[in-house]
Structure 1
Amino acid sequence: MDALTANTFTEHRQYLFALAYRMTGSAADAEDLVQETWLRWQRAGQEEIRVPRAFLTTVITRLAIQHLESARVRREEYVGPWLPEPMVTAEQRDSAELSESLTMAFLVLLESLSPVERAVFLLHEIFDYSHAETALLVGKTETACRQLLSRAKRALRDRKSERRPKYEARPAAAKQLSDALSHAMQGGDLASLMTLLDEQVIVYSDGGGLRRAAINPIRGPERAARFLIGVARKTSDGLNRYATEINAQCGLLGFRKGEVESALVIDTAEGRVRAVYIVVNPEKLRHLPEERNFHDPRIPS
């Protein structure tokens, strides 16, 4: 393979990872899919590749669909709530639509779709492919893709609370709320913490059966506040916390002995915390940076 062909793939690599991560909710799986796409790109004859981006998108989309179909049983048997692998996104500057599609809430919603529905929805609604282009990418007719998209939108509406506001790109206000939440958690201030939480707040905790976590979501301000304070107390000794942006929202990374131990993501709207996502499953944290490579400010314990 010549340098020009290799450079063409490199130019598309970030985009391919972005699509694969939204398809799978896993940074590790997305990297594997990108690598397999690279291998197929190397093996392909030039007569197969008229439009490089279209070829690469077709390959990685179909690989992702196959992956999700084979992973479905594992996810159905998962211990406790399944959450996506958290990603540090502090250096990314995406559009509001791309940012919303990275949030924990959005990725969890996508789990209600079949693999093909998920692909059609993402390609058309997030990456702006036309119905005709989407049909070619997933190997379906245009009519079938329109039906798949309609079903996907209906399924997402059914899962999404009518009172849930649209994603808010207000980093300053969210950061202030995140800081207050962290301070109240570390200080064990139940009353102050409850004032920060929405009446319908939910806390999700993903340990995957490998680390201690809540098997069911924690609902309501008082129960959520007590749970969050309990988490802070149990993990405080020797844990260094850093504030950063995770999945396009405010978050906290916890490090112990230089290795990441937890990721907490805060979903806010209208001046309140409406959801907290906590990932402690070590298999979902391996791709995050080590503490020595982390440059965001540390939060005093």
Structure 2
Amino acid sequence: MNDRSEPTADTPAPPVRGGRIDSATEAFVAHRNLLFTVAYEMLGSAADAEDVLQETWLRWVGVDLETVREPRAYLVRITTRQALSRLRTLGRRKESYVGPWLPEPLLTAPDVAEDVELADSVSMAMLMVLETLAPTERAVFVLREVFDLAYDEIAEAVDKSPAAVRQIAHRARAHVAARRPRGVVSAAETRDALEAFQRAVNTGDMQGLLDILAPDVILLTDGGGVKQAALAPIVGAGTVADVLRGIADAVLQPAQVNGCPALIVRLNGELDNVIAVRIDDGQITGLYAVRNPEKLSYIKRETTLHR
């Protein structure tokens, strides 16, 4: 979906000169990781989030800073508006996408996992839930529930009244609550489940695999028409276990992806895919395997996320 081969999430803002522009740069750089996180949570695409930040920068340098009381809030507002516009475009691209569309996985720094709420909000499982929200609902939910913005601040960002934003937030919160994992899953629980999964796959222990997979587990594979992948969800422990026999000879490397334990899969020494999981009641209920190489560039180095 994007032809860039290298991530740019930590690239500084464009170099500029002059007192006023230097102040703009300083403010932008200070909040850049936050803005990237806002855009990424709204879009599920790091490449698109990066484009949003470029657009945000171009608008920010044209602002009269003397009229800005709170740079952080102002920048979040610009980013949100740009992300909303991009989200609608992304929605049209998804309609013609080959097979299931999964969020772009990020190799994240250890401190992301330490912020439990942030890690939960950027997990592949949560991003898949956020995919079921309408664009404005997603923006309101992210800004309120993840970044704790006031309703009047969110109202300015999404061009709605504070009263309307409250209603949207209530609706989005109920929608997410009905679809998110049933309980809070610790990183240790996820790691234990992945270790059992990895051990069963590598040893060909079919019973061990069936034990860790929920009976109604769903496997989604994203090849984007570039790599071989199932064009529809694969459902059921037995069927999923049969499919996973195909990676028995792969090297499964534990990693922190989107703030949660996950597995990087290498075949013949080459990065093949990234597998993230959803855990409910101690079993794996969702497997998300991203094979599309255009979505794997952010696995090459850590991305810093911030609230």
Under TM normalisation by the shorter chain, which class is it? 0.7 to 0.9
Question: Does the CA contact (< 8 Å) of 1:203 and 1:217 recur in 2?
Answer: yes
Aligned to 1:296: none
**Aligned partner of 1:49 among 26, 50, 68:** 68
Q: Percent identity, aligned pairs only? A: 38
Asked whether 1:179 is paired with 2:199, we answer no
**Aligned partner of 1:248 among 259, 262, 285:** 259
Aligned to 1:36: 55
Q: Which SS does the other structure have where 2:31 is aligned?
A: helix
Alpha-carbon displacement from aligned partner over 1:274-295 (angstroms, at most 9, x marks no partner): 21110001111123217xx9xx
- CA offset at residue 90 of structure 1? 4.0
Question: Does the CA contact (< 8 Å) of 2:263 and 2:274 recur in 1?
Answer: yes
Describe how 1:1-301 pairs up with structure 2 within 5 A: 1-2=18-19, 3-93=22-112, 94-157=114-177, 160=179, 164-169=181-186, 171-230=187-246, 232-233=247-248, 236=249, 240-255=251-266, 260-289=271-300
Which residue type is aligned with residue 150 of structure 1?
H
Q: 1:190 to 1:256 in 2, by over 3 A?
A: closer
Alpha-carbon displacement from aligned partner over 1:61-111 (angstroms, at most 9, x marks no partner): 000000011221211222221110001124233532221111111111111
- CA offset at residue 20 of structure 1? 0.5
- Counterpart CA distance in 1 for 2:23 and 2:63 is 15
Deviates most, 2-11 or 15-24: 2-11
TM superposition outliers: structure 1 runs of 4+ over 4 Å: 256-259
Q: Number of aligned residue pairs: give it.
A: 282
- Counterpart CA distance in 2 for 1:96 and 1:104 is 14
Give me the CA root mean square deviation: 2.1
Which residue type is aligned with residue 70 of structure 1?
T
Question: Does the CA contact (< 8 Å) of 1:90 and 1:244 recur in 2?
Answer: no
Q: Which SS does the other structure have where 2:229 is aligned?
A: coil
Deviates most, 48-57 or 89-98: 89-98
- Counterpart CA distance in 2 for 1:214 and 1:92 is 34
Aligned to 2:6: none
- CA offset at residue 189 of structure 1? 1.7
- CA offset at residue 155 of structure 1? 3.5
Which residue type is aligned with residue 17 of structure 1?
F
Q: Which SS does the other structure have where 1:214 is aligned?
A: coil
User: Which stretches in structure 2 are left out of the alignment for 5+ residues?
Assistant: 1-17, 303-307
Q: Which SS does the other structure have where 2:122 is aligned?
A: coil
Q: Which SS does the other structure have where 1:168 is aligned?
A: coil
TM-score of the two chains, using structure 1 as the length reference: 0.86
Q: 1:31 to 1:257 in 2, by over 3 A?
A: farther
- Counterpart CA distance in 2 for 1:218 and 1:173 is 24
Deviates most, 240-249 or 134-143: 240-249
Q: Which SS does the other structure have where 2:221 is aligned?
A: strand
Question: Does the CA contact (< 8 Å) of 1:260 and 1:288 recur in 2?
Answer: no
Q: 1:90 to 1:194 in 2, by over 3 A?
A: farther
Alpha-carbon displacement from aligned partner over 1:96-152 (angstroms, at most 9, x marks no partner): 222111111111111122211111111111111121221122221112212222332
Question: Does the CA contact (< 8 Å) of 1:54 and 1:137 recur in 2?
Answer: no
Which residue type is aligned with residue 201 of structure 1?
V
- Counterpart CA distance in 1 for 2:138 and 2:185 is 23
Which residue type is aligned with residue 196 of structure 2?
A
Question: Does the CA contact (< 8 Å) of 1:174 and 1:250 recur in 2?
Answer: yes
Alpha-carbon displacement from aligned partner over 1:30-64 (angstroms, at most 9, x marks no partner): 11111221222222222342210111001000000
Question: Does the CA contact (< 8 Å) of 1:103 and 1:248 recur in 2?
Answer: yes
